[in-house]
Amino acid sequence: MTEVDTLPPNTADPGTTAALSVDGLWKVFGPRADKVIGTPDAELPRPELLKKTGCVAAVKEVSFDVAPGEVFVVMGLSGSGKSTLVRCLTRLIEPTAGTVTIDGHDITNASDAQLRDLRRHHVSMVFQHFGLLPHRQVIDNVAYGLEIRGVSKAERRKKAGEIVDLVGLTGNEQSYPDQLSGGMQQRVGLARALAGDPSLLLFDEPFSALDPLIRRDMQNEVIRLQEDLQKTMVFITHDLQEALKLGDRILIMRDGAIVQVGTPADVVANPADDYVRDFVSDVPRSHVLTLRYVMREPRPDDSSEGPIMSPDTIVRQAARAALASDHVVRVVDNGELVGIVDDDAILRIVVAEESVSP
Amino acid sequence: MSSIATVRPKTHDTGALATLRARWRLVSLLAVVAMWVLVWAFTRGEQTLAIQASDRTDIHGWFLARTTAIENADNVVTSLLAALSSGMDATLLFLQHLFTVPEYPRPYPQIGWLGALAIASLAAYAVAGWRQVLVVAPSFLLFGLLGYYEDAMDLLIVTGVAVAVALLIGIPLGIWMGHSKIVAAVVTPVLDVMQTMPSFVYLLPFSILFGIGPAVAALVTLVYAMPPSVRVTAYAVRGVSTTTLEATDSLGQNRWQRLRHVELPMAKRTIIVGVNQTTMAALAMATIAAYVDGPGLGQPVLEGLRRGQLGKSFVAGLAIVIMAIMLDRTTTAASTRSDRVARGDRDTGRVRTVALVAGTVVTLAAVYLSNSYTWANQFPEGVNIGDPISTKVDDLADWLRSDLSAITTGVQETFTLYFLNPVQDLVANSPWFVAGLAILAIAWIVGGVRALGAAAVCLAGIYWLDLWNNAMITLTAVLVATVVVMILGLAVGVWMGRSQVVDRSVRPVLDAAQTMPPFVYLIPVLVLFDANRFTAMVAGIIYAAPVAIKLIADGVSGVSATTVEAAESAGSSRLQMITKVQLPMARGSILLAANQGLLYVLSMVVIGGMVGAGALGFDIVYGFRQANFAGKGLAAGITIVLIGIMLDRITTYGARRAQSPGRATVRRKRLSLSRAET
Ligand SMILES: Nc1ncnc2c1ncn2[C@@H]1O[C@H](COP(=O)(O)OP(=O)(O)O)[C@@H](O)[C@H]1O
Ligand SMILES: [Mg+2]
């Protein structure tokens, strides 16, 4: 081990430590990129900025925090700057401005050695096109991260073997990447990321290149791993279904800037603008919305004999019981009545959905 | 719908414009030539700047003084060069003592033919697999059977040492170039010039710097052979998947780990392709280095050519061909094999280890035998097939020249009288400024302003070097031979491009032909024709045809299948398909073929200087022979380089230009086809 550098000390307030904190992050590609930020030019739409300065503002003033163990999804159309954003987090792409803090360590000012240490021990990434080493067997692909840390061959193969089993690749240790299907290759990519036992996992559209059925399997795999391992995850996707399925919170990007951050139900119920509304228009709302988003204020004349439910109950799950009862549903949070859901409210959601997808 | 309506007229416009521009270019080319002929008719023979072969001018004297000064100088640079030269000499002598040259008092070299054969076979097995042993071992036997075992070993030693050093420098440089845009920007133009320079041109400056002998042969070979390995390595490194690099970077690898575990393994296969190209270039140069007294098979070839003993040259040439095939097969096999080796196939891995151990034991035994017993050291003289072949070839040449002279001389005279002479008359017998202006005009029309600039600089240099007339004669030979190359290239290339069956049967022949050192091509042509400029041109045509054919075939077969289908469904006839769709779309490839054709022909025409091609090639050869003419020879060498750069720039810029408007034309055609369809 030659790498004695470790990350700069944790300077953050221990009470509020986020696993990942991004503050005012910019990435501008092009000549004299740093001169663009802070000028009125930075506010220009992309084509005009490109014409005027030859620069592309791929990420514009992005800030967010991710809590430990949270799955944070970043979503947006192609070209909205998602890949650039996620690469800036470990400085695979050098940010133009702003700070990134991981587990309280300032990444943006880390030295090369500190950065390597961060990538070896704290953060791993899974890529859309896998990026496996074609001349190495699965087991040695998975072990590569350990190898460059200087872990002995026997030890790293043992550890890699465990991870290979964990991601369901048992029996394929000796295969070469080109002998595996796309889904299997991405499992190798996942295993490689997990082998270093990082606390933060980054995914850049990891399943976009896969068939829909395989994609669903892989999504379930991620959910399962998340339940077992409780990693913090930043997950990039352009697929809203995937975002809703995996995300604790969703950040929606457009042309490099944040449009909206919120829980899945938040985003579906209260789209910030037409861009987001367009995105969520096809979503089966009853699958996503919780009672919190459809309830109304309690009134004195409301029946108090209906079923009691939590505000986080998903509409679809509430529908049958609510419609079966003659009384309105009472939404109770921490023993306090916070709202009422009547049949109309439920039918509005369910029927509207029918008209979208008959 | 509306978008189509707006797009269509626009496309149509650029298409029409492109056609107009192409027409205009053709018309103006013809106009320039017509003007030239007209002016020539009145000024023919005036101010042609012709000088006698025995004439030298001030500038040649100046070069001579410089060379003498360099030869007699005594400073850091010269002592460095001397050290380089003597280091190389020592290395070569060490290997020659091992394999070819007896070291007093021993009457024979340390390792004889049996040992060498065993070592080569083992090496072939190790790097390229057992199949290659079946190529290498018979090749070694054939060297002996043809009677040129020692010369073959000498050639292998020079080539091998040159390749080893070239790779040692070239691969790291290529890696650096692949990583750094700045290095690439600096090195690329140097490589460009180095690769446009005919091999022959390297010889004289090197012999001025290093004298003659084995060391200079190895040095000139390694310099000549290095560019492909640099270029291909850089290309290979740049081609490593960015996703994989990014993914492995994200794991926290440092730069050394990145190079060693990711870039080199992934680029390895392509890098070995560069090794193959470097090896073949080295072989070509090492044979020609016979001119500077380089040891090896080039010696008997050259000797045969000088003394008119074609049979001897032919047999030695045969040995060179065998060596070329052997080296090409082995390095190619090593490239395809490298993947499997990287994968370390487990079962074959064990077999391989056993075979390697056994092979090593056998090799050691063979080396011991060849060290101790004469029969295993000196190739038995009794079994010689070289002499009978040599006699047969001489007989054949006599027969062709006497009984068949009507045909061979007929071909030669017709071509010379009706094609070569008129063109040469026009180009070389015009006043120098008339020819110069015409060439500039043509450069401008074909390649635009940048080609015009390059041509102007090159022509000024040629004028300044006082070899204008000879340059025009050489240029004529190159142009005329390239016209034939292009006719061949179009005929065979279109045929191949349109039929996979033809392609598959012809391509291996072309590939094999491309690996032959240019020297070898002279021999069979000399069997047919007397030594004169025609012979050199024929050799040049044969040498350049394969590369031109392949480029055109690739261009034609590269035309998208949908386009061909669309044209077919629009009812194009075969001729229409070729002339209206496939050839126009392959325009870039055709110009590239012309570019390569010109450079290949140029390098051959120059080598032909010693078999009577005269002009610049002769000036160089004379520069070797007569110390007083070294200055003029050097000037001739630079003139050739200038001609090469000029032709290269004109055709390269032309090809670049052809590509963009060409596409517009094609788009218009496709559109009109789809319209005809509806
Ligand atoms: N290396 C680069 N140089 C210049 N522009 C880039 C570069 N990488 C990405 N971009 C531009 O930045 C924008 C965002 O790209 P990207 O982050 O890949 O988007 P996404 O991943 O959301 O599809 C795009 O307009 C893209 O063209
Ligand atoms: Mg992306």
Tokens of A188: 């190798």
B398 within some domain = no
* pLDDT for the residue B460: 94
| Beta-carbon separation of B251 and A148 below 8 A | yes
Confidence of residue B15 (pLDDT cuts 50, 70, 90): low
- pLDDT tens digit string along A214-266? 899 999 999 998 988 899 999 999 988 899 889 999 999 999 999 999 998 88
**Ligand 2 centre from B276 Cα, in Å?**
39
Q: Among residues A115, A114, A122, A100, which one has the least CA distance to residue A193?
A: A122
Looking at the structure, tell me whether residues B536 and B636 fall in a common domain.
yes
Q: How many CB atoms lie within 10 A of CB B183?
A: 16
The complex scores an ipTM of 0.85
For residue B339, being part of any structural domain is answered with yes
Structure tokens at A77: 């159309």
Q: How far apart, in Å, do the first and last CA atoms of chain A sit?
A: 62
HEC states along chain A? CCCCCCCCCCCCCHHHCCCEEEEEEEEEECCCHHHCCCCHHHHCCHHHHHHHHCCEEEEEEEEEEECCCCEEEEECCCCCCHHHHHHHHCCCCCCCEEEEEECCEECCCCCHHHHHHHHHHCEEEECCCCCCCCCCCHHHHHHHHHHHHCCCHHHHHHHHHHHHHHCCCCCCCCCCHHHCCHHHHHHHHHHHHHHCCCCEEEEECCCCCCCHHHHHHHHHHHHHHHHHHCCEEEEEECCHHHHHHHCCEEEEEECCEEEEEECHHHHHHCCCCHHHHHHHCCCCHHHHCEHHHCCECCCCCCCCCCCEECCCCEHHHHHHHHHHCCCCEEEEECCEEEEEECHHHHHHHHHHHHHHCC
Q: What is the mean pLDDT of residues B199-227?
A: 89
Statement: residue B611 has pLDDT above 90: no
Side-chain-facing half-sphere of A133: CA atoms under 13 Å: 27
Is the CB of A105 within 6 Å of ligand 1? no
pLDDT of residue B201: 85
B132 lies in the same domain as B162: no
Q: Chain A residue with minimal CA distance to B343?
A: A135
Ligand 1 centroid distance, CA of B335 (Å): 36
What atom of ligand 1 comes closest to residue A59's alpha carbon?
Answer: 14
Dig out the tokens for A342 from the structure: 């009547």
CA distances from B427 to A186, B44, B424 (A): 66, 10, 5
Cα separation values, B294 from B8, B201, B622, Å: 65, 15, 18
When pLDDT is cut at 50, 70 and 90, the band that residue B674 belongs to is very low
User: Quick one: pLDDT at residue A158?
Assistant: 95
Could you tell me if B535 and B596 lie in one domain?
A: yes
Least reliable range by pLDDT among A94-103, A286-295, B319-328, B449-458: A286-295
Q: How far is the CA of B58 from the centre of ligand 2 (A)?
A: 67
Burial profile B370-395: b = 16 or more Cβ within 10 angstroms, e = fewer? bbeeeebbbbeeeebebeebbeebbe
d(CA A21, CA B320): 69
d(Cα B267, Cα B244) in Å, to the nearest integer? 12
Instruction: Say how far residue B550 (Cα) sits from the centre of its chain.
Output: 14
Q: What is the pLDDT of residue B661?
A: 47
pLDDT of residue B668: 35
Using pLDDT thresholds of 50, 70 and 90, give the confidence band for residue B345: low
Q: How far does the centroid of ligand 2 lie from the alpha carbon of residue A145, in Å?
A: 23
DSSP-based helix, strand, coil % in chain B, nearest 5: 85, 0, 15
- Whether B157 maps to a domain, the answer reads yes
Q: Assess if residue B566 is contained within a domain.
A: yes
- Put residue B45 in one of left, alpha, beta given phi > 0 → left and psi -120 to 50 → alpha: left
Q: Does B570 lie in the same domain as B467?
A: yes
Sign of the dihedral defined by the CA atoms of residues B647, B648, B654, B655, in that order: positive
Q: Whose CA is nearest to atom 20 of ligand 1?
A: A79
pTM to 2 decimal places: 0.83
Nearest alpha carbon, ligand 1 atom 3: A29
Percent of chain B whose predicted confidence (pLDDT) is above 70: 92
Q: Phi/psi zone of residue B308: left (φ > 0), alpha (ψ -120 to 50 degrees), beta?
A: left
Cα gap B6→B11, rounded to integer Å: 9
Show which residues on chain B lie within 8 Å of chain A, measured between beta carbons: 241, 243-254, 257, 261-262, 265-266, 339, 342-343
In terms of domains, do B174 and B114 share one?
no
The amino acid occupying position B174 is G
Check if the beta carbon of residue B251 is closer than 8 Å to that of residue A189: no
> What was the pLDDT predicted at B673?
33
Which pair of structure tokens corresponds to residue A191? 């295993």
What's the length of chain B? Answer: 678
Mean pLDDT of chain A: 88
Boundary (domain end) residue, out of B264, B296, B328: B296
Query: Is B352 in the same domain as B269?
Result: no
How far does Cα A70 stand from its chain's mean position?
Answer: 9
Q: What is the pLDDT of residues B36-79, one digit of tens each?
A: 988 888 888 778 787 877 778 888 888 888 888 877 777 888 88
* B7-21, B225-239, B611-625, range with the lowest pLDDT: B7-21
Query: Are B119 and B132 in a shared domain?
Result: yes
Strand bridging mode A71-75 / A232-237: parallel
Q: Report the pLDDT value the prediction gives residue A352, as an integer from 0 to 100.
A: 66
Q: Nearest bound ligand to CA A96?
A: 1
pLDDT at A357 over 50: no
Q: Rounded to 10 degrees, what is the CA torsion of B138, B144, B148, B151? A: 80
DSSP bridge partners of A102 = A20, A105
- For A110-139, write each residue's pLDDT tens digit: 999 999 999 999 999 999 999 999 999 999
Say which residue the tokens 């024929």 belong to.
B538
Q: Evaluate if residue B665 carries a pLDDT over 90.
A: no
pLDDT at residue B670 is higher than 80:
no
Q: Is the CB of A88 under 6 A from ligand 1?
A: no
Mean pLDDT calculated for residue range B636-652: 90
Q: What is the DSSP string of B429-450?
A: SS-HHHHHHHHHHHHHHHHHHH
Residue A230: which region, alpha, beta or left (left: phi > 0; alpha: psi -120 to 50)? left
Nearest neighbour of B266 by CB, restricted to A92, A121, A135: A135
Query: Residue B409: its pLDDT value, please?
Result: 81
Total structural domains within chain B:
3
Location of structure tokens 């850049």: A204
Q: Whose CA is nearest to atom 27 of ligand 1?
A: A79
State mean pLDDT over B420-433.
88
Q: What is the CA radius of gyration of chain A?
A: 23
B102: DSSP letter: -
Q: Which residues of A touch B263 (CB under 8 A)?
A: none
Nearest-neighbour CA in chain B from A209: distance (Å): 14
Asked if residue B65 belongs to a domain, the reply is no
Mean pLDDT of B440-462: 92
Choice between B199 and A157, residue whose per-residue pLDDT is larger: A157
Q: How confident is the model at residue A92 (pLDDT cuts 50, 70, 90)?
A: very high
Can you give the pLDDT at residue B666? Answer: 38
- Is B677's pLDDT higher than 50? no
Instruction: Compute, in angstroms, the gap from residue A86 CA to the centroid of ligand 2.
Output: 9
pLDDT band at B342 (very low <50, low <70, confident <90, very high): low
Among A8-17, A110-119, A143-152, the least confident range: A8-17
**Amino acid letter, residue A350:** V
User: Which mutation among A46, A78, A83, A275 tests ligand 1's pocket best, with the greatest number of atoms within 8 A of CB?
Assistant: A83
B428 close to B40: Cβ distance less than 8 angstroms: no
DSSP B379: P
| pLDDT above 70 (res B572) | yes
Residues B621 and B633 in one domain: yes
Is B517 within a domain?
A: yes
pLDDT digits (tens, 9 = 90+) for A148-186: 999 999 999 999 999 999 999 999 999 999 999 999 999
What mean pLDDT do residues B320-339 have? 87
Residue B464 resides in a domain: yes
B538, containing H or E segment:
helix B533-557
Whichever domain contains B458, its CATH number is 1.10.3720.10
Q: What is the pLDDT of residue A114?
A: 94
Find the distance separating the first CA and the last CA of chain B, reported in whole Å: 16
- Does the pLDDT of residue B161 top 90, yes or no? yes
Q: What is the SS3 assignment for B147? A: coil
Are A92 and B248 a contacting pair at CB < 8 A?
A: no
Confidence bin at B178 (pLDDT 50/70/90): very high
Q: Residue A355 — pLDDT band, cuts 50, 70, 90?
A: low
Regarding whether B558 and B423 lie in a shared domain, the answer is yes
Is the CB of residue A78 below 6 angstroms from any atom belonging to ligand 1? Answer: yes
Q: Please tell me whether residues B94 and B122 are part of one structural domain.
A: no
Place of tokens 């994609």: A215
* pLDDT score recorded for residue B46: 76
Quote the pLDDT of residue B9.
42
Q: What is the pLDDT of residue A138?
A: 95
What is the residue range of B82's domain? 73-99+151-296
Q: B269 to chain A: which residues are within 8 Å by CB?
A: none
Q: Give mean pLDDT, residues B201-211.
A: 85
Instruction: Identify whether the C-beta of residue A236 lies closer than 8 Å to the C-beta of residue A82.
Output: yes
A119–B250 C-beta distance less than 8 A: yes
CB of A290 within 6 A of ligand 1: the answer is no
* Token pair listed for B583: 């050839």
Quickly state the pLDDT bin for B346 (edges 50, 70, 90). Answer: low
Whether residue A58 has its Cβ less than 6 Å from ligand 1: yes
Runs of H (alpha helix) within B211-309 = 214-238, 242-249, 255-257, 264-288, 298-307
pLDDT for residue B347: 52
CA atoms of A173 and A141, how far apart (whole Å): 9
Q: A237 in ligand 1 pocket by Cβ < 6 Å?
A: no
User: B41 in a domain, yes or no?
Assistant: no
Q: Which tokens go with A347?
A: 């039918």
The pLDDT value given to residue A5: 52
- Measured distance CA(B469)–CA(B619) in Å, rounded: 12
Q: Are B610 and B601 in contact (CB under 8 A)?
A: no
Of the candidates B410, B425, B473, B403, the residue with the CA atom closest to the CA atom of residue B636: B473
Using a CB-CB cut-off of 8 Å, the residues of chain A touching B250 are 90, 92, 119, 123-125, 127, 202
User: Looking at the structure, do residues B378 and B444 belong to the same domain, yes or no?
Assistant: no
Is the domain of B253 the same as that of B198? yes
Boundary-marking domain end, from B263, B296, B329: B296
**Backbone dihedral angles phi then psi of residue B49, each to the nearest 5 degrees:** 60, 25
Q: Distance between CA atoms of A69 and B292, rounded to whole angstroms?
A: 75
The candidate with the shortest Cα–Cα distance to B599, out of B33, B189, B194, is: B194
- Tens of pLDDT, residues B262-308: 999 999 988 998 999 999 999 999 999 998 889 999 999 988 888 88
pLDDT at B339 over 80: no
How many Å apart are CA A126 and CA A204, to the nearest integer? 6
Cα-only R_g, chain B = 27
Could you report the per-residue pLDDT of B488-534, keeping only the tens digit for each? 999 999 888 888 888 889 888 888 888 888 888 888 888 888 777 88
Phi, psi of B204 (to 5 degrees): -65, -50
User: Does pLDDT of A358 surpass 60?
Assistant: no
CA distance B244 to chain A (A): 4
